Amino acid sequence: MRAMTFLYAVLGIAILLQVAYPLLNGEPLRFVTISTVYWGAGAMALHALMTYGARYAFTYLLATLTFAFVIESIGVTTGWPFGVYTYDLSLGVQFLNVPLVVPFAWVMMAHPVLVAARTITKNWGFLYGGLTLMAWDLFLDPQMVSAGRWTWEVKGSHVPFTPEVPLSNAFGWLLAGMALIAILHAILPIDRRKVSASLLATDIFLGWSLFAGIISNLFFFHRPGIAFLGGLILGALLTPYFFIRWLGRP
Express each pLDDT in 47-61 by its tens digit. Answer: 999 999 999 999 999
CA atoms within 13 A on the CB side of 55: 7
Q: In whole angstroms, what separates CA 145 from the centre of its chain?
A: 16
Q: What is the pLDDT of residues 168-197, one digit of tens each?
A: 999 999 999 999 999 999 999 998 887 777
Distance CA 199, CA 193 (A): 12
Give how far Cα 123 sits from Cα of 117, 119, 127, 241, Å.
Answer: 10, 11, 9, 15
Q: How many domains does the chain have?
A: 1
Distance CA 122, CA 186 (A): 11
Label residue 105 by pLDDT band (50, 70, 90). very high
What residue numbers bound the domain in which 76 lies? 2-247
- Please provide the average confidence, as pLDDT, over all residues in the chain: 96
The Cβ of residue 94 has, within 10 Å, a number of other Cβ atoms equal to 15
Residue 56 confidence (pLDDT):
97
